Amino acid sequence: MANFTHDDKQQRYQVEVAPEQWARLDYSIQGDVLVITHTFVPDALRGRGCGKILMETVLSDIEHLGKKVKPVCSYAVVYLQRHTQWQHLIG
């Protein structure tokens, strides 16, 4: 698993997708559901699979915590449609 931080006060995950290069996922909370509102990958790393690293890391943590997700961010919506192994997390 990639290096990551979770700041529940700022409602943000950050994942190191390359040496000293961090992607982030912002969310809001509705009960036990994390509503994914925004994802960001540094411009220089776009198109290299960094969004996948971000989503896989965050979804693994959410699953471990026993939470659900609601994708609102367009990238998260498409990612979850394409990767059906995470469908059980949609709430």
* Predicted local confidence at residue 46, as pLDDT: 87
pLDDT at 1 over 60: no
Q: Which residues contact 20 (CB under 8 A, 6 or more apart)?
A: none
Domain spans in the chain, listed from the N-terminal domain onward: 4-89
* Predicted local confidence at residue 44, as pLDDT: 86
What number is the average pLDDT over the span 49-70? 93
> What is the CATH code of the structural domain delimited by 4-89?
3.40.630.30
pTM score, whole prediction: 0.90
Residue 75 half-sphere exposure toward CB, CA atoms < 13 A: 19
- Banded pLDDT at 39 (limits 50, 70, 90): very high
